[in-house]
Structure 1
Amino acid sequence: MTTIAAIPAGPDEVTHEWLTSVLGVEVTAADVSGVGTGQTGATYRVALTYAGPTELPYTLIVKLPSQDAAVRERVALGYKSEHAFYTDVAHTLAMPLPQCYHCEIDRDGADFVLVLADLAPAEQGDQLAGCTVEEAHLAARALAGLHGPRWCDPDWLTFTGATMPRPDVDFARGLGDLAVMAVDTTLGKLGDRMAAQDRDTLVETAALIGRWLLLERDRFSLLHGDYRLDNLLFDPDRTQVTVVDWQTLTVGLPARDLAYFLGTSLLPEVRAEAEGSVVDTYHRELVRHGVADYDRDACWRDYRLGMPQIPLITTFGFAFSAATERGDGMVLAMLERGCRAIRELGTLDLISELAG
């Protein structure tokens, strides 16, 4: 008799028997093929054959941990965050998400599986190419559906599923030190491919991260943490967007997500012209979701203040991940765009002003 793994260790264990056990209907065949690049996880598309009529889809996406044991161990906290998101959080939000059919975790994140709706023919955003203004408005509306419904919910302050909880003074100081190290590592490997003014902006921003994390603590929400084009799927007609990859959950100033997205996803000249209208869209949607006592001026200031999310996440990701040619190009593009936004929006002066 075949033993069915509770959680598949790899694609060979994503069998029709296992799918039958988790979907609750008889699956007679499953054809598994890899999708995506799999830098922190392994993702597969599964074509299913059922024993009889069903309302379930005939293709699904199955996400497993990285098949590299070292990577799996390093990002186990991210798997725990994604599990917490889909099991405890997703149903409380108004964000466009793929339907989740099964999510399970064991061994402190070493074993993990997520079964989602297949959104094909939706297309992943292209971080290198950037997005259109219309796509930015779609993303901003979706983001308000993450932040708005549980704006300043005190439960976020004790939420254990975040990879980065809202920091206290000691945590902020330690993360600030790590930010400096991450920038040093990034500059050591990529600095000769960056403009001098961008290198200076990175160093200056890293030095302020510890203080920046402690600003405006009366406004908080759950953040996606890595809200960028590669984690967004757009319908072919570009009228809908769906958000994926919840391995970097953070609790902090909501507009950090918006700043990170616009600063890295719009080309600089386009961002400078369009960012005001996209912030308007985001703020209008927050109000629609019930956010009160938060005017547009405060939203704009928070957007400016949120820009250090770009170097923080981008240099951390680069410093602690395996390098690839596309990855290096993406990091350079994101940092160039982000550093320019920091300068043009006067973000470092604003941090100094607020930090006293």
Structure 2
Amino acid sequence: MSGAPSWAVSTAEDVTPDWLTGLVGLPVDSLDVAQVGTGQIGTCYRIRPTGDPGLPPSLLLKLPDPGSRELLAGAYRMELMFYDRIAPTLACRVPSVHGSRIEEDTGHFVLLLEDLAPLEQGDQVAGASPAQVRDAAVNLAGLHGPRWCDETLLELPGLTLNDEDSVALLEEMYPATMDLFLDGLGDLVDAATVETLRGCVSGTRDWLLSRPGRFGLVHGDYRLDNLMFTPGGGHGEVAALDWQTLSLALPARDLAYLVATSLEPEVRRSCEEAVVTAYHARLVELGVEDYDLATCWDDYRFAQLQAPLVASFGCAYGQRTERGMRMFAAMVRRAAAAIRDLGTLDLV
């Protein structure tokens, strides 16, 4: 790659024992490299190295998408900053980092992470069990609780709270974006879902600017495809991936997004109060004060507009695949039911 830093790689063929030795600082004799997953803004490889006894048996390597590397440089920079400066201060399970590099002007980056196997990636289309969602919510409290309303977060590059200027462009784009989104989904969603989603658009500006007194780190896309679970669907360990969309906002946005997009409506109705209670209890354990369960529940109801917002922009302007369209349809169908059930639009 002309002009690229010496450590930059873009394909599996570029990942050699010498290259990995330079990144991890341990001698590597040989390695096996295989692509995993279907990332939208990058590529992920599983590396199985041999050599120094201190080497892990397997690692995950994240690389940028060559076609949009410069455009997405800010997202890559945010993810590396999260692992370097923020993750050590939190109580949520995330993969450990074994090596990273970034050239901020060009977006060249590499991120070498702990391989979380035997944990298994969630499936957004299939959904999750109530036990999995509860465990994911408790892990989410480990993101929110330790830095709850921590104003020092505002000193970190790229982390700001919404203001009038920052939401103006989104407010302008949202109606056309929702039209594109719904046109693309076609008959994958029912009329009730379409009506609910269109009803979300007009109140989004006020929603984005409301409740500024409670803020924290928000993953922004805390859903099943970005979570790793203990196999089997029951109670167990959860770890969170993909931190490019980190922001500062009302923490309950992540909680509402997780619960509403992961569970079919009848299942959600039966367990969501227990999930919110478990999340709140973990916040209290982590030292969050002056935030009672009733307020947490109200924030959860209010925050349900996260799913339509994220899904519509993610689908309308992203690369469309058959699986992706089914995924977005499942997410917004479940979320629209939650918005109706919980009376969210009456709170905005």
Instruction: Specify the alignment match of 1:10 in structure 2.
Output: 11
Q: Which amino acid aligns with 1:36?
A: G
Checking the alignment, whether the CA contact within 8 Å between 2:77 and 2:104 is kept in structure 1 is: no
CA displacement at 1:335 relative to structure 2: 0.7
- Which residue, out of 109, 112, 130, partners 2:109? 112
TM, length-normalised to structure 1? 0.93
Secondary structure of the residue aligned to 2:217 is strand
CA displacement at 1:66 relative to structure 2: 1.6
CA displacement at 1:200 relative to structure 2: 1.6
Instruction: Specify the alignment match of 2:172 in structure 1.
Output: 177
Instruction: Specify the alignment match of 1:146 in structure 2.
Output: 143
Report percent identity of matched pairs.
Answer: 46
Checking the alignment, whether the CA contact within 8 Å between 1:169 and 1:214 is kept in structure 2 is: yes
Checking the alignment, whether the CA contact within 8 Å between 1:87 and 1:103 is kept in structure 2 is: no
- Which residue, out of 206, 211, 215, partners 1:211? 206
1:222-301 mapped onto 2 (5 Å cutoff): 222-236=217-231, 238=234, 239-301=236-298
CA displacement at 1:157 relative to structure 2: 2.7
Residues 253-286 of structure 1: CA deviation (Å, up to 9, x unaligned)? 0000000000000111010110000000000000
Does the alignment pair 1:201 with 2:200? no
1:125-140 mapped onto 2 (5 Å cutoff): 125-140=122-137
Does the alignment pair 1:342 with 2:343? no
Residues 39-61 of structure 1: CA deviation (Å, up to 9, x unaligned)? 211000011011x4x23312111
Instruction: Specify the alignment match of 2:185 in structure 1.
Output: 190
Checking the alignment, whether the CA contact within 8 Å between 1:5 and 1:13 is kept in structure 2 is: no
TM, length-normalised to structure 2? 0.95
Instruction: Specify the alignment match of 2:84 in structure 1.
Output: 87
For the residues of structure 1 that align with 2:106 and 2:146, how far apart are their CA atoms?
A: 28
For the residues of structure 2 that align with 1:347 and 1:258, how far apart are their CA atoms?
A: 14
For the residues of structure 2 that align with 1:157 and 1:337, how far apart are their CA atoms?
A: 33
Instruction: Specify the alignment match of 1:354 in structure 2.
Output: none
Deviates more, 1:8-17 or 1:337-346: 8-17
1:14-33 mapped onto 2 (5 Å cutoff): 14-33=15-34
Runs of 5+ unmatched residues, structure 2: none
Checking the alignment, whether the CA contact within 8 Å between 1:16 and 1:30 is kept in structure 2 is: yes
CA displacement at 1:28 relative to structure 2: 1.1
Runs of 5+ unmatched residues, structure 1: 352-356
- Which residue, out of 308, 312, 315, partners 1:311? 308
Checking the alignment, whether the CA contact within 8 Å between 1:98 and 1:119 is kept in structure 2 is: yes
Q: Which amino acid aligns with 1:291?
A: V
Q: Which amino acid aligns with 1:26?
A: P
For the residues of structure 1 that align with 2:181 and 2:187, how far apart are their CA atoms?
A: 10
What is the aligned length?
Answer: 343
Residues 308-338 of structure 1: CA deviation (Å, up to 9, x unaligned)? 0000100010011111000000011101111
Checking the alignment, whether the CA contact within 8 Å between 2:26 and 2:54 is kept in structure 1 is: no
Deviates more, 1:317-326 or 1:106-115: 106-115
For the residues of structure 1 that align with 2:153 and 2:176, how far apart are their CA atoms?
A: 28
| Superposition CA RMSD, Å | 1.6
